[in-house]
Each structure stands twice: as C-alpha cells, then as structure tokens.
Amino acid sequence: MKLKTKLSLGLSFLFAIILAFGILGFYYINRLSNDASMVLKNNHESLVYSNNMLKVLEKIPGKKDAFKIFDDNLKKQEANITEPGEKESTEELRKNFNELLTNPTDASNYTELRQSLQLINDLNQNAILRKNEIAQKTAENARFWLTIIFTLLIIVSIIFIYNFPSIISDPVTRLSEGIREIANKNYKQRIYLEQKDEFGDLANAFNSMAEKLDEYEHSNLAKIKFEKSRIETIINQMKDGIIGLDEKNHILFVNVVSEKILGLKESDIIGKYAADIAIHNDLMRTLLKEDVIKELKIYADKKESFFNKDVINVMANEAVIGQVIVLRNITPYHELNEAKTNFIATVSHELKTPISSIQLSLKLLDNKQTGEINTEQQLLLDGIKDDTNRLLKITGELLNMTQVDSGKIQLSIAASDTKQILTYAINANRNAAEQKNIHLDISIPDQLPKVVADSEKTVWVLNNLLSNAIRYSYDNSTIFISTGAVDKTITFTVKDTGQGIAPQYKEKIFDRYFRVPGTHKDGTGLGLSICKEFIEAQGGQILVESDYGTGSTFTVVLNAAPILSL
C-alpha cells in the first residue's frame, strides 16, 4: 500500500470518528435542550397559571379585578394544555368559573375550583418529574456513547502518534545513512525496506544508483587516473607556465615551469586561495590583476626572461567554472629580436660608410675637372646616384626599426605632403602587386591638407600595411587605397579582400610576436607592433576592422597641419 494511501486512510478514519463524535454530541445536546425547553414552556407555565388562579380565588369577591385576573390566567392555561387529562380538568375549571360568574356571592363551588386547579398542578408536576427522568436517561446515553467515542479516539490517536513517526523517520534515517555512505564513496552500500510504498520505491532507486556508481567506479577509475596522469605529464613538459584556478580562484594545478617562475612548490599551494598566495608573492599578484598586461619581464633560469600572459576561461553550460593562466615564454623571440636589432644597426652603420664613399666618388666623377664623360657614361652615373640614394633611404629605415626595437624612437615631425607620402608607399609595392595580378584601387582627393608626421616613418608604416594586404590577398583581387581629411585629421586607409581576421585574434594582432594561427610563418610578429608604435609616437592612432572571410581594413589617423590664412 502506498504511503499516500496509508496517510489518507488514517486521517480519513480520524476524521470520521471526530465527525461522529461531533454529530452525536450535537444530537444529545439538542435533545436535552428540547426537553428542558418543553418543561419550562409547557408544565412550568401551567403551574404558574394555576398558582396565580389559586391566589386570586381567595380574593373573590372582595377584589374587583380578581375575576379578570382569574379569567386571564384561565385563558392562558386553556392555550397551554399539553398533558393527558389536563384538558378535561381545564374544561371543568372553566365550567365552575362560569357558574361563579353568574352568582359571585355563591361560594359553594370554590371547592370544585380548587380541586380542578390542584388536579392541573398535579398533572404538570408529574409531567415535570417524568420529563426529568427522560432527560436524565438522555444524558446518560449521551455520556455513554460520547465516552466510548472519546476512548476510541484516544486509543487511535495514541496508536497513530506511536507508529506514524516511525513510518516516516525510519526510512528517512536509513536513506540518510545510505546517502552519507555514497558521499564517502562506499558504492557497495544498499538499503532494504520491506515497505511497498514510496519509501520502498526510493530505496530501490537508491540501490540502482549505488550499483551504477559502483560499476562506473570500477570500470572508469583506472582510465580516469591514466588520463589525469597523461594530462599532468603533458602540462609539466610544456615550456610555457600554466596555472589552473577553479571558479572560486583556488589553485588546482601548477606545472614545473610555473613553479620555477613563482618560486613556489605545487604541493605547498594546491587548493589554496590564489589571493592569499598573492599577498606574499608579487608575481602571483600581478597575474591575478585583470588589467591587460602585454609583456612580463621575469627573472627565470638565472636570467631575465619575457612572458606573455594569456587567460583562458573554462566554460560549462555557458558558465565560467575556472580559469587557466598561460605564461607564454617569448624569451627566444626577444633574443632573436635583440640579435636582429644589433645586426641591422651594425650593418646599417657599416653600409653608410661605403655608400658615403660611393657618393663622394660620384661627385668627383661628375666634376668636369676630373675629365669629360660622354652621354652614356652620364646615364650610368645618374643610375648609380639613384641607387645610392635609395640605399641610403633603406639604411635609414633599418636604423628606424632598430630605434623601435630598442625603445628609442627618434622623430622628425613636420608638415608633410599627404599625397606624396601615400604615393611613395604605393610605388614601393607596385611590383609585388603586379606579380599576383592584384589591382590597386587608389582614391586621393585633389585638395588635401598637409599631415603633421614624420614622413619617413609614416611611409614605412603604409608600406608595411600595403605589403601585408598584398601578402594576404588572393590573386586577381583588388586592394582599395584612399586618403582624406576628417575633423582636423588625415586618414590613410588600406582595405583588402582577403580572408580577414578571426574575432578572437582581432585584439592581439598589434601585440609583439603574435601571429594569427594558420597564416604565413615567415614573419616574427613585429611588423604591426612597430607600425602601432610609430603612429602612436606621432600622436596618431591605427585602427582595424575585419569581417572574417571578407577582408580587413586598416586605417592610420594623424593630425592635419593647420591651414594658414593670409
């Protein structure tokens, strides 16, 4: 029987007994009330009327209104006849009273009047005694039945109070103990209940769950342990520092590289609140900051090392359940960049000396005092001059790159011709565009203000943007190049129709050493970073818009030179 059915039957039985107790009590109380009211209304009032008539009979005929009083009470008595024989006595009383009224001075029938009144009194007194006995019997019956029902209610209530809590508490207690054992990973725990109710069903469901958990524990535990060990091995073999946090910022794991960087042992900090560790560890405090940190300089492996911080959110059902902090070691790139910078600086300085000597020799050859030269020789000299000047410019650009890498940018900002800057960058990339059959769609207004910029560095930036656009554009495509004046600024725009940049990489393309995964591997990830530093050093900004799959648009914004009015 279901628990709900048991409860319903028990409560229904109690309700039925209580209802019967109430109905029976109400019935007997109503009977007693009716019996009492009949005594008061019928017999008692008849006694009152008879006594009133007896009292006034003694005053006849001396009192004038005695007949009227007697007659009024007699009428009331005639209207209140309730007992057997009372009617005849009342009629006899009326007859004798009428005879008295015909001859008030004749007292011969006083005796008959008194006898009739006494008879009426006796009848009503006897009726009162009889009805009292009936009421007592009714009360005794009520007491008897109500006592039986009350005793039955007490017995049922005691049985219910004694048994019902155990019906609920015992299965709950056993289920609680079973759940506690399961929580302690004792999956062999079982609960056996003889009840065929909801608790029995719950016990069966519990046993099925425990059996499944036991099977899962034995079938997958070894596999899970193996996978955990494998993942830990992979993480520890990585050259990047990796720190795992749960949703409450407690440390889950730290690989070997992170141990060296933090100067802490994994066993000492596992399970601890990361903010508590950060109180005594400056690097942990820096890593927990939400500010964007491009690059960290950390002393590791007995030397200054450089790391990029990357925070990866671990998601489950669209909720963050933890984080993984990855410290990517970019020290080799720094070392390569430093070597490259030193090499470029050295080569550039070494090239300037022979180039200067070539220029001096050209001047001497061009001097007529050294001898006359023919037309063909002059053309050769002019070509050598152009190439020498171009080499000097290239050498200057290389030196500018070393300035960026060393953090010492030297600017020569002046009002420069906007069209000339853009045209120079376009001409430098025409051959590369022609090799891929890429059309350059150029839009330059006729009237343009001058731009406040370092022309050489701005050309270098535009040249880099155009070179990237050509590199990442498809063959036979079009690149849109434009410039214009907007709100006291000059904008240079380069728009390609290549693959574009995925949204997750859009914010990182200006970071040093960053290269979009899946693109060309021949770069070092410095070009856009240097462009950004060149432009921002001139008080401008470089922007990017990209729709993945349709292309990218890079925009350089610099200040326009004020127009002087005459």
pLDDT for 409 beyond 60: yes
pLDDT for 492 beyond 90: yes
Question: How far apart, in whole angstroms, are the C-alpha atoms of residue 29 and residue 23?
Answer: 10
pLDDT at 61: 66
**Cβ count within 10 A of residue 467:** 17
**Tens of pLDDT, residues 35-56:** 656 555 677 788 888 888 888 8
Q: Which residue has the higher pLDDT, 101 or 423?
A: 423
- Measured between alpha carbons, how far is residue 63 from residues 60, 66, 75, 94, 509 in Å? 6, 5, 20, 20, 134
Region 18-36 average pLDDT: 71
Specify whether 341 is located in the same domain as 325.
no
* Residue 165 resides in a domain: yes
pLDDT at 205: 81
451-453-454 Cα angle (round to 5): 140
> For residue 308, what are the contacts with CB-CB under 8 A and spacing of at least 6?
294, 295, 296, 327, 328, 330, 511, 513
Specify whether 445 is located in the same domain as 535.
yes
Kindly report the CATH number assigned to the domain that includes residue 244.
3.30.450.20
**Tens of pLDDT, residues 203-228:** 778 778 877 777 776 666 667 677 77
Specify whether 129 is located in the same domain as 31.
yes
Question: How far apart, in whole angstroms, are the C-alpha atoms of residue 424 and residue 420?
Answer: 6
**Tens of pLDDT, residues 60-110:** 766 667 878 888 888 888 888 888 888 888 888 888 888 877 777 776 777
Q: Which residue has the higher pLDDT, 316 or 454?
A: 454
pLDDT at 310: 80
pLDDT for 499 beyond 90: no
Tell which residue, 529, 532, 538, has the closest CA to residue 560: 538
Specify whether 478 is located in the same domain as 546.
yes
Tell which residue, 336, 397, 379, has the closest CA to residue 531: 397
CA dihedral sign, ordered 462, 467, 468, 469: positive
Q: Which residue has the higher pLDDT, 318 or 466?
A: 466
**Tens of pLDDT, residues 385-394:** 777 876 776 6
Averaged confidence pLDDT in the chain? 79
pLDDT at 398: 67
pLDDT at 370: 67
pLDDT for 397 beyond 90: no
pLDDT at 559: 93
Q: Label the pairing between strands 478-486 and 439-443.
A: parallel
**Tens of pLDDT, residues 446-485:** 888 999 999 888 998 998 899 889 988 889 999 999 999 9
Specify whether 255 is located in the same domain as 396.
no
pLDDT for 265 beyond 60: yes
pLDDT at 558: 94
Cis peptide before 517 (omega within 30 of 0): no
Specify whether 323 is located in the same domain as 358.
no
* Residue 178 resides in a domain: no
pLDDT for 566 beyond 50: no
pLDDT at 33: 66
Contact assessment for residue 289 and residue 267, using Cβ atoms and an 8 Å cutoff = no
Kindly report the CATH number assigned to the domain that includes residue 390.
1.10.287
Both structure tokens of 330 = 């970019």
Domain end, chosen from 151, 170, 189, is at 170
Question: How far apart, in whole angstroms, are the C-alpha atoms of residue 267 and residue 270?
Answer: 6
Domain end, chosen from 170, 194, 222, is at 170
pLDDT at 4: 67
pLDDT band at 291 (very low <50, low <70, confident <90, very high): low
pLDDT for 382 beyond 90: no
Specify whether 428 is located in the same domain as 496.
yes
The residue to which tokens 């610099």 are assigned: 558
**Of the ranges 28-32, 97-101, 267-271, 518-522, which one carries the lowest mean pLDDT score?**
518-522
Question: How far apart, in whole angstroms, are the C-alpha atoms of residue 119 and residue 93?
Answer: 10
| Edge-first strand listing for the sheet containing 489-495 | 439-443, 478-486, 489-495, 551-559, 541-547
* Residue 421 resides in a domain: yes
Question: How far apart, in whole angstroms, are the C-alpha atoms of residue 75 and residue 245?
Answer: 107
SS (H, E, C) 37-76: HHHHHHHHHHHHHHHHHHHHHCCCCCCCCHHHHHHHHHHH
Contact assessment for residue 157 and residue 185, using Cβ atoms and an 8 Å cutoff = no
* Residue 46 resides in a domain: yes
Question: How far apart, in whole angstroms, are the C-alpha atoms of residue 444 and residue 491?
Answer: 11
Contact assessment for residue 270 and residue 252, using Cβ atoms and an 8 Å cutoff = yes
pLDDT at 391: 77
* Residue 58 resides in a domain: yes
Alpha helices, H only, 407-479: 418-435, 455-472
Domain end, chosen from 377, 406, 435, is at 406
Q: DSSP string spanning 260-295?
A: HHHT--HHHHTTSBHHHHHHH-HHHHHHH--S----
Kindly report the CATH number assigned to the domain that includes residue 466.
3.30.565.10
Region 348-352 average pLDDT: 72
Question: How far apart, in whole angstroms, are the C-alpha atoms of residue 475 and residue 521?
Answer: 19
- Measured between alpha carbons, how far is residue 139 from residues 32, 149, 150, 266, 371 in Å? 7, 15, 16, 89, 159
Q: What percent of the chain has pLDDT over 70?
A: 84
pLDDT at 252: 83
Tell which residue, 527, 498, 493, 497, has the closest CA to residue 512: 527
As a dihedral over the C-alpha atoms of residue 144, residue 147, residue 153, residue 154, rounded to 10 degrees, the angle is: -150
* Residue 205 resides in a domain: no
Specify whether 263 is located in the same domain as 394.
no
Specify whether 430 is located in the same domain as 522.
yes
Specify whether 371 is located in the same domain as 422.
no
Question: How far apart, in whole angstroms, are the C-alpha atoms of residue 210 and residue 216?
Answer: 10
pLDDT at 494: 95
pLDDT at 490: 93
Range of the domain at 89: 3-170
**Of the ranges 2-11, 73-82, 244-253, 491-500, which one carries the lowest mean pLDDT score?**
2-11
**Tens of pLDDT, residues 152-206:** 878 877 887 777 666 666 777 777 777 887 777 777 777 777 667 677 777 778 7
pLDDT for 400 beyond 70: no
Specify whether 395 is located in the same domain as 433.
no
pLDDT at 364: 76
pTM (2 decimals)?
0.38
pLDDT for 308 beyond 70: yes
Question: How far apart, in whole angstroms, are the C-alpha atoms of residue 196 and residue 56?
Answer: 85
Specify whether 454 is located in the same domain as 507.
yes
Residue 246 DSSP class:
E
Contact assessment for residue 117 and residue 53, using Cβ atoms and an 8 Å cutoff = yes
pLDDT for 377 beyond 60: yes
Region 117-135 average pLDDT: 82
Question: How far apart, in whole angstroms, are the C-alpha atoms of residue 202 and residue 221?
Answer: 27
Number of domains in the chain: 4
Classify residue 258 as exposed, middle or buried by CB count within 10 Å of its CB (0-12, 13-18, 19+).
buried
pLDDT at 234: 79
* Residue 180 resides in a domain: no
**Tens of pLDDT, residues 529-565:** 888 888 988 999 999 998 888 889 999 999 998 876 5
Question: How far apart, in whole angstroms, are the C-alpha atoms of residue 165 and residue 543?
Answer: 74
